[in-house]
Amino acid sequence: MIRMGITPAPRRSRAAMGAIVLGCTVLVGAATVAARTVPAALHKIAAGTPYPTADPDAAAERLQGYSRQAYTALELPEPTTVALNSLDSGPCYSHGFMQIDKTEPGVVSVRHSWGVARVPQVTADAALDRLEARLAARGWTRTSDDDRSGPGWSELGFRYEDPHGGDKLDAHWNSSGGGLYVDVYAPCATIPTGNPAHDDAPLTWTPHAPFLATSRRGS
């Protein structure tokens, strides 16, 4: 009987076996890291990046400072007639795609809205030009132009943003009512824990800007 020869498999060297073990260890480690990292990354995307923390009272004071500067830059003829002056907070929504329609508790955007009634278009046009020049000189960036017109109507306006802190200023005038209005608002921020306002949103303040003592209250 003819015996078939069987060639034994070559023995792997200790170095080769070590490399295989090391490679497997690396793969297992990478898989473990991925198993931990991927869900965390997906959760972060779903939940959204947390808002920064900021004191709403400080934001309210800062915005009123901007409003004073804006009112001064407009150089409207005195006495003006006050059409609006409110200082309050609005809700903010989650950054996460799974909660895009959900408001974030304890997170607000502070806004100061004010306006002057019965401003002629020629006065409003010149006043807004002066305000634009002031904002540009301070390094704010124009982000929108809202000048529009049609048969029998016209609107003037723009938006500027502070590139450093994210505060925004909207100014607009329309021919239908003749009012010139300004909105200054801060970006969304979390109210610090322990702040009395944390559980009381929405917040309201009594504004002490931007109008002068000679300004009249509109009816």
Query: Which of the two residues, 11 and 69, has the higher pLDDT score?
Result: 69
CATH number, domain 56-217: 3.30.2030
User: Using one digit for the tens of pLDDT, what is the confidence trace for 203-214?
Assistant: 999 999 999 866
Task: For residue 188, give both structure tokens.
Answer: 């969304």
Task: For residue 179, give both structure tokens.
Answer: 């009012």
145-165: buried (b, 16+ CB within 10 Å) or exposed (e) per residue? eeeeeeeeeeebbbbbbbeee
Could you count the other beta carbons within 10 Å of the beta carbon of residue 44? 13
Contacts of 12 (CB under 8 A, 6+ apart): 20
- CA-CA-CA-CA torsion sign (31, 33, 36, 40): negative
Q: Are 43 and 98 in contact (CB under 8 A)?
A: no
The Cα–Cα gap between 113 and 104 comes to 23
Q: Which among 26-35, 179-188, 200-209 has the top mean pLDDT?
A: 179-188
Query: Which of the two residues, 61 and 17, has the higher pLDDT score?
Result: 61
Annotated domain spans of the chain: 13-47, 56-217
Task: For residue 154, give both structure tokens.
Answer: 């016209």
